[in-house]
Amino acid sequence: EGFGVYKLTDQASMTTAIKSAYQTGYRLFDTAQLYENEALLGVALKELAVPRDNYFVTTKVAEQNQGYQTTIQSVKESLRRLQLDYVDLLLVHWPMQAHFFATWQALEDLQAQGLTKSIGVSNFGIVHLQLLATQAHQRPVVNQVERHPGLNQAALIKYHQAHGIVTQAWSPLARGKYLQDPV
């Protein structure tokens, strides 16, 4: 399980949240260019003062930064903001028709350069994954999708399992909707 920082927008809250999350056992921290808080997370991780290989960082390429060269530049900027030499997992945040293959090629090249250890996608459906497979040199290792009791994504999960793609849920409690559900 990971700790998402989607709604954290000030340094004090980010630092407190990351410290508490780390102390309770979280090691995966998930951010995105779109969240506009990568720099806050970078500071909070530095303040933890633990070795880099003690935690795992995921970030995602925003829609407006997709396309080959724009992706490369935006990821280098993300690394600067995060104060990291690499991220553990880099995702395409949403499938964009205009830059679909170019963005994935950029992720493959960023991985070859050592700027990310693994690459994947977020919010991709079966058709997106099938299309990507027609030109990609490698499959995504992860597809991060909305998944919770009201949206089980059974067909997508079956596809992932058949193709060696890890399913990672975002909003697994439907933004709190199911916290009061007795089931």
- Tell me which residues are annotated as active site: 35
The residue whose two tokens read 């003062």 is: 49
3-state secondary structure labels for all residues of the chain: CCEECCCCCCHHHHHHHHHHHHHCCCCEEECCHHHCCHHHHHHHHHHHCCCHHHCEEEEEECHHHCCHHHHHHHHHHHHHHHCCCCEEEEEECCCCHHHHHHHHHHHHHHHHCCCEEEEEEECCCHHHHHHHHCCCCCCCCEEEEECECCECCHHHHHHHHHHCCEEEEECCCCCCCCCCCCC
